[in-house]
Chain A
Amino acid sequence: MKKLIYKNPTAQKIYDSYFKRVSRCVSILSPNDQLELQMELNSHIYEATNDVAPDKEVEALIEALEKLGAPEEMLQPAIADKKIKQASRSFNPKHVLQAMYLNVSSGLGYLTLAFVYLLIVAFGMLVILKLLFADNTGLFLKDGRFKVFGFTPTVPAGSSEVLGYWFIPLVIIIMLVAYFLNTSLLRLLKKQ
């Protein structure tokens, strides 16, 4: 992207400083999305200040930037939207978590997503606990009735763990299914 050059050094400093903030805001996005948002703002600032005499550059630039508002606020909806698109395309957990963080204020759907992701992390921890405390982690039944699924510091009296190390693949399958369903929910929310 071609940066704007001002004759007035103060105007140049103001522009550079504003664009530094813009770059910081959009850095969470893919290179294409970053460029798209930066180019549009750059184009707007150029149109608002290009016909101005050098001694009026600072005034015109400040007015244009004030009307645009703080990039952190102005770009937030676009960044949140583009991040959701990126997350639902890639299934990448990093992008999914970032998209949830940016959109969590948008409603219950995203809170549900965050909760299910927390559950996925908790299931992941169960795998580690099974490896460390095999006797206290698993599916515990007593007389064929369910007692505990997961980790328990004290095994309920008379109950026994029935899955053994098959508990680990079962938990991994549950995690994968939950992850797939959650990312599908993310796509659904994006369409709304």
Chain B
Amino acid sequence: MYYICAMNSEFIQNWLSQVKKGTLSYIILNILNEKEYYGYDLIQEIKLHTTLEVAEGTLYPLLNKLKTDGIVESKWVEQPSGIPRKYYTLSAEGKVTLNEMKKIWLTLETAIHKIQK
């Protein structure tokens, strides 16, 4: 019995990890669609709206990839502290991408609801 529980727990952990990996980009794009954020602030916003534990070490490489793909843009903004912040915002291509992702998400959500009954 214990063995089965341990196996299920491992399976669920792996599944959750995949879900987080797959949805983090979508969450980030939705948040950036509202206004621009700098990295630290974006992490706080994700924590505020979701129960996802987002490791900072995961977020920055992902932001960098989104920037490379032309989905987000960034700019440095000087601060009175002398430590500038790097603000991220959705690019025009990012807005189109997000709209497509929203359609896919809604279709998936409807399908899951139907299946779950």
Q: Is the pairing of A and B real?
A: yes
Contacts from A to B (Cβ < 8 Å): 2, 4, 39-44, 46-48, 50, 64, 67-69, 73-74, 77-78, 81
Neighbouring B residues of A78 by C-beta, 8 Å: 60-61, 64
Q: How many angstroms between the C-alpha atoms of A69 and B59 in the bound complex? A: 11
Neighbouring B residues of A50 by C-beta, 8 Å: 81
User: Do A47 and B61 touch across chains, with their CB atoms under 8 A apart?
Assistant: no
Whose C-beta in chain A lies nearest to the C-beta of B83? A46
Given A81-B65, A81-B68, are A43 and B84 also a contact pair (CB < 8 Å)?
yes
Q: How many angstroms between the C-alpha atoms of A64 and B39 in the bound complex? A: 13
How many of chain B's residues have a CB under 8 angstroms from any CB in A? 19
User: Do A74 and B57 touch across chains, with their CB atoms under 8 A apart?
Assistant: yes
User: Do B83 and A43 touch across chains, with their CB atoms under 8 A apart?
Assistant: yes
User: Do B86 and A40 touch across chains, with their CB atoms under 8 A apart?
Assistant: yes
Neighbouring A residues of B68 by C-beta, 8 Å: 81
- Asked if B55 CB lies within 8 Å of chain A CBs, one says yes
- Nearest first, the 9 A-B pairs at minimum CB distance are A69-B57, A47-B40, A74-B57, A77-B61, A46-B83, A67-B56, A78-B64, A2-B82, A68-B56
Neighbouring A residues of B65 by C-beta, 8 Å: 77, 81
22 A-B residue pairs with Cβ-Cβ distance under 8 Å, sorted by A, are A4-B83, A39-B86, A40-B86, A41-B60, A43-B40, A43-B83, A43-B85, A44-B39, A44-B60, A46-B81, A47-B39, A47-B41, A48-B40, A67-B55, A67-B56, A68-B56, A69-B56, A69-B57, A77-B61, A77-B64, A78-B61, A81-B68
Neighbouring A residues of B40 by C-beta, 8 Å: 43-44, 47-48
Neighbouring B residues of A40 by C-beta, 8 Å: 39, 60, 86
- Most chain B CB within 10 A, of A39, A50, A73, is at A39
- Asked if B26 CB lies within 8 Å of chain A CBs, one says no
Q: How many angstroms between the C-alpha atoms of A84 and B53 in the bound complex? A: 31
Whose C-beta in chain A lies nearest to the C-beta of B76? A39
Q: How many angstroms between the C-alpha atoms of A145 and B39 in the bound complex? A: 66
Given A47-B38, A67-B55, A69-B55, are A39 and B61 also a contact pair (CB < 8 Å)?
no
Known contacts A47-B85, A67-B55, A78-B60; can you find 9 more A-B pairs with CB under 8 A? A43-B38, A43-B83, A43-B86, A47-B38, A48-B40, A68-B56, A68-B57, A77-B61, A78-B64
